[in-house]
Structure 1
Amino acid sequence: MELLHVIILLFTGFLVFALDKKKKRFPVPMVLVIIGICLSLLPFFSGTMASKELIHDWFLPAVLFTAAYQFDVKHLKKNKWFIVVLSTVGLIAGVFLLASSIHAIGLVSLSFGGALLMAALLMPIDSVTVISVQQKSGQDKQIEELVEGESLASDGTSIALFTAASALFFSGQAIHPFVFMSDFFLQVLGGAAIGLVLGWLFSKAIHLLHDRHYQVMLSIVLAYASFYFAEHLHLASLLAVITAGLTLSYELEKSAESLEQAYRNHLDGFWEVVEPALIALIFLLIGLEFLTFIQWQQWPIIITVFLLTLLVRFLLLAAAAKTVPTWRRRFQWSELLLITISGIKGTVAVSLLLGLAAQEAQGLEHILSIAFGTVILSIVLQSLLIYPLSKWVAAHPDPSVRRFSEE
């Protein structure tokens, strides 16, 4: 990608952020993706190529680190068990259920391994998209906190899930659930441990520094060191970044209030400029790549798979919220629907799809087309539905339902 392309895309992103102040009915990620699709029709952008390395290795660590350290750890503590269940056991169950549905219906001629790979791409929700949309959606704060926490955890664990599914797909070996789950949890626990240790060490170092420039420099090192260290060890690299950011946030909270605010102001001064620039580039690049992957004759299949992802997510949420005794009365059905719609797919799935595009295997072109089309539908349609659905849920509360934060 040439420098002139980057400058034009950054300026386009600036215009979108500057002109759309409310970001409610027309969320920024959706607008940027649509603009990117339109720009891809221009000959000038015909050579603009995104890659997994660009999005996954350079953009996502910075964006996810910012989202993690800015996330209030108290919210994570409050919803921790629900989030843990959804982002581990629930995510695995969702992937197998979605894969089984796609394979059983026979929408496309894929092996179960191919269907499993597609499901591993499409079941996790994306924190970059979710947080960008939810912050201006007018959504109930407690639901917003829950979905943002789930999306951060899901981004971290999704890489481990995808790695296990892709290894099975390309090797052609039979699927052994125990081996699949053990590989998944090994990567998850290893990535989390790296982020926890590095986040704690770097937080102590930041407290020793008094120059805000050095504090910011150290936070940049933390974001990328946690990612590349975990990547080198073949562990969940994005989870390492997220855990490092959350650990830094937790350690900052233990400082005196004046010092914590000073630290956060210094870090925010840098990361809150970098974050929207990277978000603009990511979603514009997703739009630019859309026509490269999509096969127009597959739109009926894409729509069906998109609806299946929503149905499976709703069933999993209902199973967790309505069958576990301590969670049974914490959600009304309309809130479960809102949480379902709020689970948008996005950047991580696209970065993994770009990595798959460089490989060859039977049926891979169908996976790329259907998965990419489903991600685009998710970004556009779910982003549009969150605001009006949030308003409707707020206008029809169920007084018999206890709020999720009550213990």
Structure 2
Amino acid sequence: MDRFISTETLIIELLLVASLVAILVRRLRVPYTVALVLVGLVLTLQQPLELSLTPELILALLVPPLVFEAAFHINFTELRRNLPGILLLAVVGVILSTLIVGGAVSLVTPLSLPIALVFGALISATDPVAVVALFRALGAPRRLALLVEGESLLNDGTAIVLFNLVLAAALTGHFDLLNGVADFLRVSAGGVVVGLALGWIAAQIIARVDDYLIETTLTTVLAFGAYLVAERLHFSGVLAVVVAGLVNGNIGPQGMSPTTRIVLFNFWEYVAFLANSFIFLLIGLQVNVPTLLANWQPIAWAIVAVLAARSIVTYSLGWVVNRFSDPLPLRWLHVLNWGGLRGAIALALALSLPASLGPQGELVRIMAFGVVLFTLLGQSTTMRPLLRVLAIVTRNPIQMQYELRHARLMTFRAAATHLDSLYRDGFISEQAWETLRPELLRQVETIAHSVRDLQRMYPELTTEELESARRELLRAQRSALMSMRRDAIISEEAFELLASEVDTLLMSEDFMPPEPPVAHAGASAPTNDSARPKNSS
């Protein structure tokens, strides 16, 4: 009982730390995952914690929701259009990276070639969580974000399969190339088949059920169940989850109500937030800084080898992609190269190394932690400046001008409101109020005219603003419906009907505000003059 209470207390403490970090990073321009790792490092330096970060905890509990959530939101049409390039990077790229890193590391560190190849396999899987989050925040090109995320999803499974094959060869002392290729294809294809089958079955059940609680539960069962079933059959569990998420995310929502889709998207966004928070906070808590410093030379060589292999793979395979597909700009290749972060998969595989590898296995773990820490703290934090230097994400000068004028308008209106409050509360005299108020109102009117002029010249400036405002109005309607249901003003049946109408509009890509009620016979519609507010200022 005491152990359960202590475990529960630790989980609550970690959730609290993650929440506080999430609040803090909103004010600082630091990736959330990087901040979690730094906080974990600070905590473990202040008071070392006895934590057992096992590979089962990462691979079976924390990775499936992350992989499923990412795959669930990928549009299959866009993925299929870019699939050749993604497969090259995720399959051929992982194999090349394993060979390059393994060969280089075996030359400059105490690791033998077989163990060096094991390190090359486990460190080849990319985990660009922080990079993808930055892409979304800055509005990077959709195809570039899809390439980064798609490669990460598929190369996780590839790296795990390759790691198991190379590890078996290192332990037994011999490797049969033909059998190795056959096992690679069998494990990969088996995971894909399991994911296809379970994803399709879940989508068919969801299409016949109209209950968002049941449908959300089914997707949860699918995410974890696909991994467990595939692993029990000795296939790739991660690839099974990826394919199940793709199938369910592209077929399942067709049979869902708008309410279910909103609940489902919010649920998986929250679960992915939790999984990411735990993984990267635990990484920081697990890192032994004195041990890393004591082994700085092999870690430095490993970092150099990983960066070199990533560059060779990215630019060479990028050239191949450009030969038979839509060309990738050189600037994008720079981003793909530097965005090859390492994370949870690499650490899980490093932790799963058997004790029989002895000191070499321990060195592999230390090097893996060092490389992951470098990519998170070094590459992730410099991605924003790189995007700006390469002019991939740039600020539209017209949009910037609109924001400045709009902000000035809001500040002068706020000043006028505060002036009225000061006068009303007796803090300033009527003479001061009558002197200052016309000056503020003139400023407000002048800036308001400049904002309207800009909107007339560039109508697209208000599109996003209108979209946001309309959605906020719909959310207010839904909140009012929930309050009426809670207070028993409307029945559950009426709530479901009205909430479904609002949710349909919320899920629509180009929704319009609700139509005004039809006038009764004999009633005249208001003219434009009568509909206009009396005080237009």
When normalised by structure 1's length, the TM-score is: 0.89
Cα displacement (A) at 1:362? 4.8
Deviates more, 1:61-70 or 1:210-219: 61-70
Q: Deviations over 1:253-298 (max 9, x none)?
A: 6x27xx4644421212322222212211111101111108944232
Please say if residues 38 and 284 of structure 2, whose CA atoms lie closer than 8 Å, have aligned partners that are also in contact: yes
Equivalent residue number for residue 178 of structure 1: 178
What are the residue-to-residue correspondences of 1:144-159 with 2, within 5 Å?
Answer: 144-159=145-160
Q: Which amino acid aligns with 1:28?
A: Y
Distance 1:148 1:22, change over 3 A: farther
Distance 1:321 1:251, change over 3 A: same
Cα displacement (A) at 1:130? 4.5
* Residue number among 16, 24, 42 corresponding to 1:19 in the alignment: 24
Aligned length: 389
Q: Which amino acid aligns with 2:381?
A: L
Distance 1:22 1:222, change over 3 A: farther
Which secondary structure state, in structure 1, belongs to the residue aligned with residue 125 of structure 2?
A: coil
Equivalent residue number for residue 340 of structure 1: 337
Q: Which amino acid aligns with 1:169?
A: A
Please say if residues 2 and 48 of structure 1, whose CA atoms lie closer than 8 Å, have aligned partners that are also in contact: no
Cα displacement (A) at 1:301? 2.4
**Partners in 2 of 1:72 and 1:22 — Cα distance?**
32
1:66 paired with 2:69, answer: yes
Please say if residues 25 and 35 of structure 2, whose CA atoms lie closer than 8 Å, have aligned partners that are also in contact: no
Cα displacement (A) at 1:22? 7.0
Cα displacement (A) at 1:99? 1.0
1:197 paired with 2:194, answer: no
**Partners in 2 of 1:291 and 1:99 — Cα distance?**
24
Distance 1:11 1:246, change over 3 A: same
Equivalent residue number for residue 8 of structure 2: 3
Q: Deviations over 1:184-233 (max 9, x none)?
A: 22211111110011001101101111010000111111011100001111
Which secondary structure state, in structure 1, belongs to the residue aligned with residue 108 of structure 2?
A: coil
Equivalent residue number for residue 136 of structure 2: 135
Amino-acid identity (%): 29
Cα displacement (A) at 1:170? 2.0
Distance 1:193 1:165, change over 3 A: same
Please say if residues 33 and 280 of structure 2, whose CA atoms lie closer than 8 Å, have aligned partners that are also in contact: yes
Which of the pair has more CA radius of gyration? 2
Deviates more, 1:128-137 or 1:118-127: 128-137
**Partners in 1 of 2:252 and 2:63 — Cα distance?**
23
Equivalent residue number for residue 41 of structure 1: 45
Cα displacement (A) at 1:41? 2.1
**Partners in 2 of 1:15 and 1:244 — Cα distance?**
33
* Residue number among 57, 60, 66 corresponding to 1:57 in the alignment: 60
What are the residue-to-residue correspondences of 1:257-296 with 2, within 5 Å?
Answer: 259=256, 261-291=258-288, 294-296=291-293
Which secondary structure state, in structure 2, belongs to the residue aligned with residue 40 of structure 1?
A: helix
Please say if residues 195 and 243 of structure 1, whose CA atoms lie closer than 8 Å, have aligned partners that are also in contact: yes
1:372 paired with 2:379, answer: no
Please say if residues 140 and 392 of structure 2, whose CA atoms lie closer than 8 Å, have aligned partners that are also in contact: no
Distance 1:358 1:2, change over 3 A: farther
**Partners in 1 of 2:128 and 2:185 — Cα distance?**
21
1:84 paired with 2:87, answer: yes
Unaligned runs of 5+ in 1: 398-407
Which secondary structure state, in structure 1, belongs to the residue aligned with residue 174 of structure 2?
A: coil
When normalised by structure 2's length, the TM-score is: 0.68
Which secondary structure state, in structure 2, belongs to the residue aligned with residue 26 of structure 1?
A: coil
Q: Deviations over 1:30-75 (max 9, x none)?
A: 11111111111233x5222221121211111122111111222232
Cα displacement (A) at 1:83? 0.6
**Partners in 2 of 1:83 and 1:390 — Cα distance?**
21
Q: Which amino acid aligns with 2:235?
A: L
Equivalent residue number for residue 223 of structure 2: 223
